[in-house]
């Protein structure tokens, strides 16, 4: 991972620009650097980041899904790409917060966007696409943590046992194109529409992971979750759906926890991963206990 100053210089040097200026780093992004700049009166965002094998991030996959998301009207256009670089048109929009998604109209818009991704995106995507099965990811993370001397080694066996129980509880799922990183900040609100950005974890997976991730990251109350599921599926959630959804939602918290455990070892970004691990592990344990 490069430094912020090096990221600025790299963005300004790209051959796709004619006379770039006003380069500045953007907040957010804990696996890459983001730079906004202007070229010939147009604004662009340059995302700088290499493959991250331990997190199963492949930038060719991010590029493919970014293009698919733009094709179905969810994401900004891709202007240029090269190894470690993705250039997108800048959109004048603000990232959501968790509190924003407690507004029923905003939540409905986010759910509509997810339904568009899952249905239209699955039909539109072409070529190789990574899969995203959270339980495979959890097993892979545990293997990496064990092999690399993680400070969390002692809790891994117990977490894997719980993950296996969650996987059985989820049961059969539909496989669709999913985003898999639904932090509120990855949803942008423009003047008359919403955007969905940051596709590095996208792949073929379960829509329940996106719905559960959205709920946990926004701290949605149970009534809002019921409204979300009713809107998405067109009918009130059954007991079986609640069981599968709650297990997947719990797994999404465990994945974020173990993602942070791995990042404690590997990341060079200036971010307090130890505290992030603690916060997510506490949230996961509370969710698992509630099952």
Domain ranges of the chain: 4-89, 94-290
- What does the alpha-carbon distance between residue 114 and residue 95 come to, in Å, rounded to a whole number? 16
Query: Residue 95 pairs with which residues in a beta bridge?
Result: 188
Identify the three-state secondary structure at position 35: strand
- The answer as to CATH 3.30.70.2860 being correct for domain 4-89 is no
The predicted pLDDT at position 269 comes to: 76
Strand 21-25 with 203-205, pairing:
unpaired
**Sequence-ordered alpha helix ranges (H) in 19-172:** 59-71, 104-116, 122-124, 134-147, 156-170
Q: How is residue 57 annotated by DSSP?
A: B
- What does the alpha-carbon distance between residue 205 and residue 179 come to, in Å, rounded to a whole number? 9
Can you name the CATH fold of 94-290?
Answer: Aminoglycoside 3'-phosphotransferase; Chain: A, domain 2 (3.90.1200)
What global pTM score does this model have? 0.94
Report the run of H or E that residue 85 belongs to, with start and end: strand 85-89
- What does the alpha-carbon distance between residue 271 and residue 288 come to, in Å, rounded to a whole number? 27
87 C-beta neighbours (distance < 10 Å), count: 24
- What does the alpha-carbon distance between residue 204 and residue 130 come to, in Å, rounded to a whole number? 6
* Exposure on the CB side of residue 102, measured as CA atoms within 13 A: 8
- CA–CA distance from 9 to each of 29, 60, 79 (Å)? 18, 23, 19
The predicted pLDDT at position 190 comes to: 96
Question: Which segments in the chain show pLDDT lower than 70?
Answer: 1-2, 28-30
Q: Is the separation of the CB atoms in 89 and 79 below 8 Å?
A: yes
The predicted pLDDT at position 130 comes to: 98
Q: What are phi and psi of 228, to 5 degrees?
A: -60, -50
Query: Residue 33 pairs with which residues in a beta bridge?
Result: 48
Q: What are phi and psi of 171, to 5 degrees?
A: 75, -165
260 C-beta neighbours (distance < 10 Å), count: 24
The predicted pLDDT at position 30 comes to: 65
């Amino acid at each position: 991972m490069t430094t912020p100053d090096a990221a600025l210089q790299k963005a300004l040097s790209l051959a796709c620009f004619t006379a770039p200026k006003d380069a500045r780093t953007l907040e957010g992004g804990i696996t890459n650097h983001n730079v906004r700049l202007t070229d010939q009166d147009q604004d662009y965002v340059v995302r700088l980041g290499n493959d991250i094998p331990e997190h199963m991030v492949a930038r060719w996959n991010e590029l493919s899904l970014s293009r698919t998301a733009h094709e179905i009207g969810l994401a900004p256009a891709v202007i240029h790409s090269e190894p470690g670089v993705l250039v997108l048109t800048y959109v004048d929009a603000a990232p959501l917060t968790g509190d924003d998604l407690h507004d029923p109209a905003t939540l409905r818009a986010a759910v509509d966007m997810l339904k568009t991704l899952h249905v239209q995106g699955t039909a539109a995507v072409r070529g190789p696409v990574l899969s995203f099965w959270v339980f495979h990811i959890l097993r892979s993370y545990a293997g990496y943590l064990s092999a690399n001397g993680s400070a969390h080694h002692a809790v891994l066996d117990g977490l894997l046992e719980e993950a296996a129980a969650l996987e059985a509880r989820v049961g059969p799922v539909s496989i669709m194109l999913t985003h898999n990183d639904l932090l509120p900040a990855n949803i942008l609100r423009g003047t008359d529409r919403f955007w969905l950005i940051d596709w590095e974890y996208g792949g073929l997976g379960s829509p329940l992971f996106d719905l559960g991730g959205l709920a946990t990251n926004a701290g949605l109350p149970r009534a809002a979750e019921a409204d979300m599921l009713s809107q998405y599926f067109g009918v009130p959630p059954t007991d079986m759906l609640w069981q599968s959804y709650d297990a997947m939602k719990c797994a999404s918290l465990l994945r974020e926890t173990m993602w942070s455990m791995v990042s404690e070892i590997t990341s060079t970004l200036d971010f307090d991963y130890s505290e992030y691990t603690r916060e997510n592990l506490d949230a996961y344990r509370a969710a698992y206990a509630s099952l």
